[in-house]
Amino acid sequence: MRRSRLVTVYAVKGMIVQILENLLTNSIYWLGTERMIDPTFQPTLTVTIDIEASEMRVRDNGPGIPPIKADEVFLPFVTSKPPGEGKGLGLYVARELAQYHGCSLSLSDKKNSRGTLSTFVFDFSNILR
């Protein structure tokens, strides 16, 4: 049985919402793209909040990110989307917002079954009281 515990987070609410919104929007985009390629594809998106670890994890079963691009995806104007589909600022801004709060946003180095990376980790230990 899971126990719930009330925690207090000290942060700018809109900035934290922006981080989550970006991660979810990216996952939904890539899951939709995968579904267009393979109509039998069953998309899965999981958001896990682990208070003990002070982490939020966003994972999907889409195409993922090649490990060699794990750091590159957080740079400004870097995108894998086709022209006109994205500006390459979402993950950059999300990481900057996390760092503004003394937190971190990274890509887990654990590979999925495709050999790519598909889990973003938001470490919010510095805003949890």
CATH number at residue 86: 3.30.565.10
Are 31 and 77 spatial neighbours (Cβ–Cβ below 8 Å)?
A: no
| Domain presence at residue 16 | no
* Residue range 91-114, pLDDT digits in tens: 999 999 999 999 999 999 999 999
In a domain, 2, yes or no: no
Domain hosting residue 26, numbered range: 22-127
Residue 10 in domain: no
Asked if the structure places residue 13 within a domain, the reply is no
Asked if 23 contacts 120 with a C-beta cutoff of 8 angstroms, the reply is yes
Q: How many domains does the chain have?
A: 1
pLDDT tens profile 40-59: 999 999 999 998 899 999 99
**Is residue 30 assigned to a domain?**
yes
Query: Does residue 91 lie in a domain region?
Result: yes
